[in-house]
Amino acid sequence: MATIFGIPLMALFGQLLIGLINGSFYALLSLGLAVIFGMLNIINFAHGALYMLGAVTAYLLLNYAGIGYWPALIIAPIVIGVLGMVIERLLLQWLYKLDHLYGLLLTFGLALILEGVARNYLGTAGLPYSLPDSLRGGHNLGFMYLPNYRAWVIAVSLVVCFGTWFAIERTRLGANLRAATENPTLVRALGINVPRMITLTYGFGVALAAFAGVMAAPIYNVSPNMGSELIIVVFAVVVIGGMGSILGAIFSGFGLGVVEGLTKVFYPEASSTVIFVVMAVVLLVRPGGLFGRRA
Amino acid sequence: MLKWKVGLAALAATLVCGAANAQQINVKIGVLTDMASLYADDTGLGSVAAANLAAKDFMKGHPNVKVEVVSADHQNKPDVATGIASKWFDVDHVDMITDVPTSSVALALMPVAAQKNKALIYSGPGSSDITGSKCNANTVHWTYDTWMLANGTGKAIVKNGGDTWFFITADYAFGHALERDTSAVVKANGGKVLGAVSVPINNSDFSSFLLQAQQSKAKIIGLANAGGDTINAIKQGAEFGIAAGGQKFAGLLIFAPDIKALGLKAAQGLMFTETFYWDMNDGTRAWTKRWDKERNAPGKLPSMNMAGVYSGTLAYLEAVVAVGSAKDGKAVVDKMKTMSFKDPLFGTTTVRADGRGIHPAYLFEVKKPEESKGPGDLYKLRATIPADEAFRPLKDGGCPLVKG
Amino acid sequence: MQRGTDPPAGRALTLGTRSQTIAFVVLVIALAVAPFFTYPLFLMEFMCFALFALAFNLLIGYVGLLSFGHALYFGWASYLSAYAAKSWGLSPELSILVGTATAAVLGAIAGSLAIRRQGIYFAMITLALAQMMYFVALRVKFTGGEDGIQTVPRGHLFGVVNLSNDMAMYFLVLVIFLGGFLLIHRIIHSPFGEVLKAIRENELRTISLGYKVDRYKLMAFVLSATLAGLAGATKALVVQIASLTDVYWPMSGEVVLMTLVGGLGTVFGPIVGSFVILSMQYKLAWMGQWVLVIQGVIFVACVLLFRRGLVGELAHWLRIRL
């Protein structure tokens, strides 16, 4: 069998595919973060906690209302999105004129609160949530066994990512939003309700995080800590892609998934740290990230 | 809140029996545990409830003894733990600290207790070094340790036909120790280790490592990790068709709350070793009911760690009465090593010269969903390992307290 | 960011404003008598963290650079100090020196990389570097992995004073803390400090005035890292443990919280902030998970309502500078 650096070629393909799958998760998560930063200039540290709440909502829907995975994919993001809008109106709107630092600190505090409360009611070991029956099983691709659910994840991720990018970069609504970020007074003068747009945008970014949470629930352990483990990695992804850039977040999400996947094969112990190495290198070489605007 | 209840109960008891001439003994016990993080469901408030139960039960039978229980969260950090422990010992007159999950924390506390001559009754940590190379005269290690887990689970599985292994190991000292001990047992019983991969802790996605395990074609995938990592690996294993491919998981460190979190669909067939299960017999069932009332939170199961806090605390208190006071930690621990303790949770426990508490261990297998009759009905018993075989032989530990 | 103007450099020797002098005297007296009333170990830990927060504040409050990776210097200084005391058998003052020197070197390397960028990107580079060094700490043998370096001997100061006595150790820590505080104060109120503040207010104008801004930033960074290292090296001897918690990113977050609660850019803010946060952790340890929720609430409240921090709000209300 052909080998590269001692690893069979077939095995490497399998790992690359897995890397892409993980990357699609990163892309989905960092998308919401990029939207929120790009449009609101808020560094949303609560993103991980909101992702977790999406997964928890899916669990609660299943356990207490008998509502399964498919409806949860729609209901949970809406519920958490509304929560996001409440947060924006109550807490975040006072911070837009201030330094980035304050938004980051406030959302960091928010994350602590959300996770702590969830922990108190749900414990830390985790909550059971199984794969939906229609997505069980998988196919043997020769070089690996691909679970159907993972294929589903890539497909959904691509659709959502490019859908969002299209909506923001290519539609009128998106154009209004981008204009409102650059010059809110002027856009307001044109009759557009800027504060409402901003609230809805934050809600949308949060809904994306919750959506990723529901997608994660069947395969990752649903526990109050699940967000805090991912949040700084997702941060790194967004920074590498360029903090305001949607496309940057998508590409760096997928790209970093692959890089991490390769590291898991050749130097697995470093797989949690490799993203930071990449981040440091990218920031030193290209100041604004790969696709981003200058700091 | 609970502190007051315990204090009042004690006061009432002493008033009623004021006529008795028994000497008044005061004991203060600290439950130092993980309340918010990785092990919170396996220990945490459940251990505090267990300690409170032990205090109440003991005071009922011994009206001249006043037991007070305090608790704190060490957040799995050695320096936070030593800070709290030092303050407890120096300022708050705490005589004994119990539970202490996370081996790095447990090891850090041992010199502190030795220096201040207090007692440690460990039920939470796993490292076999606690009664091995790092043993001291003030520590008793109850419930389990990594040697027992490796030996119980590893040996039983190899004998059952699982003779080729691949390890997924959490990349920290504890994970490596678990892998090392289990590897040794596997090889000693005629099995082979085909490979291993080291994974950073708190890793959510195991697909890459499961793929490597599948490619190794080992019959058994040993999970040398704990908590969320184990749960994630098993959950994703179900997804990737590990069982369908003819491979099985061996959970080297897993507790009842973790099984509950996984659900029977994902966890069925998993084999592991524990020293307590709530549904073993009438004694354990009755105790679990009372623990549930004390814990006062819905849907929780007692883990073996929590049971060990109850059992170990009772044993400690019996030794305190035998010595007459709790002030000299080493004296109480020495007394424990001469006594034998019986309770409905562990049966009979004796304490060896190296501080190791010995009781029987059980090999469990997780039931299939169709075999389970209710939400807590998780395990079936596969084998019982008698106390003298379940733990590492005294001479093999390298503990300086063991003569010859 | 709320910052007041500071007194001109010429008044440095009088310790800034009169209110600052009074506050300093109160601080010294309070710390001198406190160990007779409160558990000394807690006070020593508090002073180490207060020094850590003061060092961090130097960078954020006076130069305007938010570092997300300050745990790097604190933690690695702690490791080297512990290792020097335990495995090399050095006396405590030398161990602390070794730890502090380590932090200075690491600060110089990290600083030279990080200051090439501004704002959030600067912060992210510091975070990335801290994460990489965390990984190194995890894998390198001498740090002891998650067990850390335990039973670090306190030894004899200058070969004479036995530091196992808590009171003796306390006064050493007090001297180190006050020394660090005075050094920072001196830096802030010197011509060098004035340039730093100019950079914070308007970097481009400072460059146009002919100052080599990068060199000043790097110098400030190294000073901040070194003093954070001093705090870490001392802490290792106080608690007699050096562990992974000291290099992990939540530790960097803690110091931000302490400084924020106390007041960014105030002289005494970090001290008050670290006292509040540390006391909370001790007093509320029995509450378990609710401690984190409360910390979160404090974060949110501080950002929304008490942006100047406790000391900042007090100073603003009294119309003095603290």
Q: What is the mean pLDDT of residues B261-280?
A: 88
Q: Is residue A83 part of a domain?
A: yes
Let me know whether A176 and A101 are in one domain: yes
Percent pLDDT > 90 in chain B is: 59
Q: How many domains does chain A have?
A: 2
CA distance, residue B139 to nearest chain C CA (Å): 17
- Give the pLDDT of residue C275: 93
Q: What is the pLDDT of residue A6?
A: 63
Instruction: State the pLDDT at residue B11.
Output: 55
Are C245 and B107 a contacting pair at CB < 8 A?
A: no
For chain C, the structural domain boundaries read 39-247
- ipTM reported for the complex, 2 dp: 0.84
The nearest alpha carbon in chain B to C251 belongs to: B77
pLDDT band of A128, cuts 50, 70, 90: confident
Q: What is the pLDDT of residue B404?
A: 52
Cβ of residue B246 closer than 8 Å to a chain A Cβ? no
For the cut 80, the answer to whether the pLDDT of residue B13 exceeds it is: no
CA separation for the pair B148, B275 (Å, rounded):
10
Which pTM does this prediction carry?
0.87
pLDDT category of residue A5 using cuts at 50, 70 and 90: low
Q: Residue A282: helix, strand or coil by DSSP?
A: helix
Question: In terms of Cα–Cα distance, which of B253, B13, B112 is closest to C151?
Answer: B112
Over range A227-231, report the average pLDDT: 84
B304-357 pLDDT, tens digit per residue, is 999 999 999 999 999 999 999 999 999 999 999 999 999 999 999 999 999 999
Looking only at the bridges linking them, the beta strands covering B271-274 and B361-366 are: antiparallel
For domain B147-279+361-384, the CATH superfamily is: Response regulator (3.40.50.2300)
Whether residues A153 and A207 fall in one domain: yes
Q: Are residues A215 and A251 in the same domain?
A: no
pLDDT in tens, A77-108: 999 999 999 999 999 888 888 877 788 889 98
Contact B86 C41 (CB under 8 A): yes
Closest Cβ opposite residue B36 in set A14, A119, A130: A119
pLDDT at B274 over 60: yes
Has residue A127 been placed in a domain? no
Q: What is the pLDDT of residue A274?
A: 92
User: With an 8 Å Cβ cutoff, are A219 and B239 in contact?
Assistant: yes
CB contact under 8 A, A138 and B240: yes
pLDDT at C4: 46
Q: Does the beta-carbon distance from B205 to A125 stay under 8 Å?
A: no
Q: What is the mean pLDDT of residues B249-275?
A: 88
3-state secondary structure chain B: CHHHHHHHHHHHHHHHCCCCCCCCEEEEEEEEECCCCCCCCCCHHHHHHHHHHHHHHHHHHCCCEEEEEEEEECCCCHHHHHHHHHHHHHCCCCCEEEECCCHHHHHHHHHHHHHHCCEEEECCCCCHHHHCCCCCCCEEECCCCHHHHHHHHHHHHHHCCCCEEEEEEECCHHHHHHHHHHHHHHHHCCCEEEEEEEECCCCCCCHHHHHHHHHHCCCEEEEECCHHHHHHHHHHHHHCCCCCCCCEEEECCCCHHHHHHHCHHHHCCCEEEECCCCCCCHHHHHHHHHHHHHHCCCCCCCCHHHHHHHHHHHHHHHHHHHHCCCCCHHHHHHHHCCCEEEECCCEEEEECCCCEEECCEEEEEECCHHHCCCCCCCEEEEEEECHHHHCCCHHHCCCCCCCC
More confident residue, C287 or B67: B67
Q: What is the mean pLDDT of residues C108-137?
A: 90
C290 touching A (Cβ < 8 Å): yes
Task: With beta carbons less than 8 A apart as the criterion, state whether C217 and C62 touch.
Answer: no
pLDDT at C305: 87
Instruction: Name C296's Cβ contacts closer than 8 Å, sequence gap at least 6.
Output: A108, A109, A110, A111, A112, A113, A114, A116
Q: Which amino acid is at B319?
A: A
Instruction: Return the DSSP state at C150.
Output: -
Mean pLDDT of A226-251: 86
> C2 or B359, which is more confident?
B359
Establish if B334 touches chain C: CB-CB under 8 angstroms. Answer: no
Domain limits, chain B: 26-144+280-359, 147-279+361-384
* Neighbouring subunits of A (3+ Cβ pairs under 8 A): B, C
- Give CA–CA dist A13/B65, Å, rounded: 68
Range of lowest pLDDT (A185-189, B60-64, B255-259, B301-305): A185-189
Q: What is the DSSP letter of A286?
A: S
| Together in a domain, A172 and A282 | no
The mean pLDDT of chain B is 89
In the listed set A223, A244, A275, which residue is the last one of a domain according to the structure? A223
Does the distance separating the beta carbons of B36 and C288 come in below 8 Å? yes
Residue A175's contacts (CB-CB under 8 Å, 6 or more residues apart) are none
Per-residue confidence (pLDDT) for residue A221, from 0 to 100: 85
**A238: domain range?**
225-295
Q: Mutate which of A117, A267, A279 to test chain C, going by most C C-beta atoms within 10 A?
A: A279
Asked if pLDDT for residue A58 goes beyond 90, the answer is: yes
Fold entry, domain B26-144+280-359: Rossmann fold (3.40.50)
In angstroms, the separation between the Cα of residue B237 and the nearest Cα of chain A is 9
Three-state SS sequence of A61-80: HHHHHCCCHHHHHHHHHHHH
Is B258 an interface residue toward A (CB < 8 Å)?
Answer: yes
- Chains touching B, CB cut-off 8 Å, 3+ pairs: A, C
Determine the residue of chain C that is closest to A114 in CA distance: C293
Q: What angle do CA C46, C49, C54 make, to 5 degrees?
A: 120
Task: Summarize pLDDT for C223-256 with one digit per residue, the tens.
Answer: 999 999 999 999 999 999 999 989 988 889 889 8
Beta strands in chain C (DSSP E): 156-157, 161-162
pLDDT surpassing 60 at residue B4: no
Any chain A CB within 8 A of the CB of C140? Answer: no
Band of pLDDT at residue C280, cut at 50, 70 and 90: confident
β-partners of residue B67 are B27
Q: How confident is the model at residue C12 (pLDDT cuts 50, 70, 90)?
A: very low
Mean pLDDT score across all residues of chain C: 88
**For range B261-267, the mean pLDDT:** 85
Mean predicted confidence (pLDDT) in C131-140: 91
* Boundary residue ending a domain (A171, A193, A223): A223
Q: Which of A95, A100, A112, A229 to mutate to test the interface with C (most CBs of C within 10 A)?
A: A112
Q: Is A100 on the interface with C (CB under 8 A)?
A: yes
Contact C239 B40 (CB under 8 A): no
Taking an 8 Å cut-off on Cβ atoms, the answer to whether A219 and B38 are in contact is no
